[in-house]
Amino acid sequence: MKFTTDERIDTYNAWQQAQKIPINRGFFIEDLRKVEVAPWDYKGGMGAFINLEGAGGTNDGYVCEISPGTKLKPQKHLYEEMVYILDGHGATSVWQRNGKKQTFEWHPGSLFAIPLNAEYQHFNGQGNAPVRFFAVTSAPFMMNLFHNLNFIFANDFVFSDRFPPEEEDYFSSKGQVWGLKMSVNFVPNTWDMPLKVWNERGAGGRHVNFDLAGNVMGSHISEFPVGRYKKAHRHGPGAHVTILSGQGYSLLWPEHGEPTRVDWKPGSVVVPPSQWFHQHFNSGADPARYLALRWNSWRYNFVALGDDKPIEVSVKEGGTQIEYEDEDPKIHEFFESCLHKAGAPCRMGSMVPWCTQKGME
């Protein structure tokens, strides 16, 4: 291989620029359903990239739109991809080379992952409205690791361990559950699926953690009640926190730094920068639920990306979480003011000392 300059090569960035679709950056997207999209020849639909700062160039997101009654081009790639349906009804076919197709239908709120390097195609099943979905992928990592696009897009290796041809119920199985952990390949409805209590993060929240299609990327759903907020914590890059329901805000700050506030609603997405503390607040009148599409499934050990400390342990004990009694009192005072504007009660009760001092229930 010969080079004519000493310019540093970024294979993902070069590929991305060649797609000629909008690239959205920053900390936050207010509403994925309203992101401007443009014709995307590679997909055969409309699209826009979501490259938020918190991903740190390790993973990415994109929004794709399928026109009424049409389909996207068949795809195959050597990077992982998780898909969340924002709007519309349709179907996806997935198959291995020379293998039988498996087709499943989806609707708003559905979540699934594409098995690694399997061939697939998305279809809009309605003739009067577009479909829009949000996907998070490991493309930046994989493209820059191998820096060979032919290897990424034209590799014929079959990962039969991730997508066994004999499993005809691959996308219809209810999966397996171990407490808060679930191995599954298709989640019909993230909006109202039952969750289990997760006391360690506080706020009386509920939670489920997914292993999707044998990926090293993972996801989870968390929900917390009206008048509550979760404990501050930090982790590595690339967690795309996508709001499913409710109204609230998040605070994000580097250690010893000033917080940045983002207000969210259904369709919003925020990606906390690596090792920034962040804290999620339900300041509305309904339960708040979000879907985090991120690195590191609970099943497969991958590069730490700064996630080598226990997530449910106080920072005072070597963990990554700030307990309620250790947080700045101003955080709770501001939360109360937001609840007052929304006409919602504070229900933190004895969880934080500031409530106890005021005699709040």
In a shared domain, residues 213 and 346: yes
Query: What does the block give as tokens for 213?
Result: 């299609």
What DSSP character marks residue 77?
Answer: -
What is the Cα–Cα distance from 70 to 134, expressed in whole angstroms? Answer: 18
- Distance between CA atoms of 84 and 190, rounded to whole angstroms? 9
298 and 259 fall within a common domain: yes
Based on the fold, state whether residues 144 and 200 are members of the same structural domain: no
Residues 25 and 141 in one domain: yes
Q: Do 203 and 351 belong to one domain?
A: yes
Shared domain check, 117 and 38: yes
Residue where one domain finishes, among candidates 153, 185, 204: 153
Cα–Cα distance, 22 to 37 (Å, whole number):
7
CB 86 within 8 A of CB 186: no
Check if the beta carbon of residue 295 is closer than 8 Å to that of residue 237.
yes
Terminal alpha carbon distance of the chain: 69
Do 342 and 201 lie in a common domain? Answer: yes
Task: Tell me what pLDDT residue 350 has.
Answer: 64
Residue 3 lies in a domain: no
| 340/205 same-domain check | yes
140 near 94, Cβ under 8 Å?
Answer: no
Classify residue 251: in a domain, yes or no.
yes
Q: Domain range spanning residue 271? A: 176-304+328-358
Using CA atoms, how far apart are residues 331 and 351, in angstroms rounded to an integer? 14
**In-domain check, residue 229:** yes
The answer as to whether 273 is a domain residue is: yes
Specify the number of domains making up the chain: 2
Per the domain annotation, does 309 fall within a domain? Answer: no
Please tell me whether residues 200 and 341 are part of one structural domain: yes
Do residues 139 and 250 share a domain? no
From 153, 168, 192, give the residue that closes a domain: 153
Instruction: Report percent pLDDT > 90 for the chain.
Output: 75
User: What pTM did the predictor assign?
Assistant: 0.94
Q: In whole angstroms, give the CA distance from residue 324 to residue 331.
A: 10
Domain annotation covers residue 243: yes
Tokens of 172: 């219809």
Beta bridge partners of 119: 95
Q: Kindly give the parts of the chain with pLDDT less than 50.
A: 356-361
Residues 6+ apart with CB under 8 A from 176: 182, 183, 184
Rounded to 10 deg, the angle between the 11-19 and 139-146 helix axes is: 120
Amino acid residing at 51: N
pLDDT, residue 165, reads: 86
Quick: pLDDT tens for 174-187: 889 999 999 999 99
Residue count (the chain): 361
Same domain, 92 and 200: no
Question: Are residues 183 and 119 located together in one domain of the fold?
Answer: no
Q: Where residue 226 sits, what CATH number does that domain have?
A: 2.60.120.10
In a domain, 314, yes or no: no
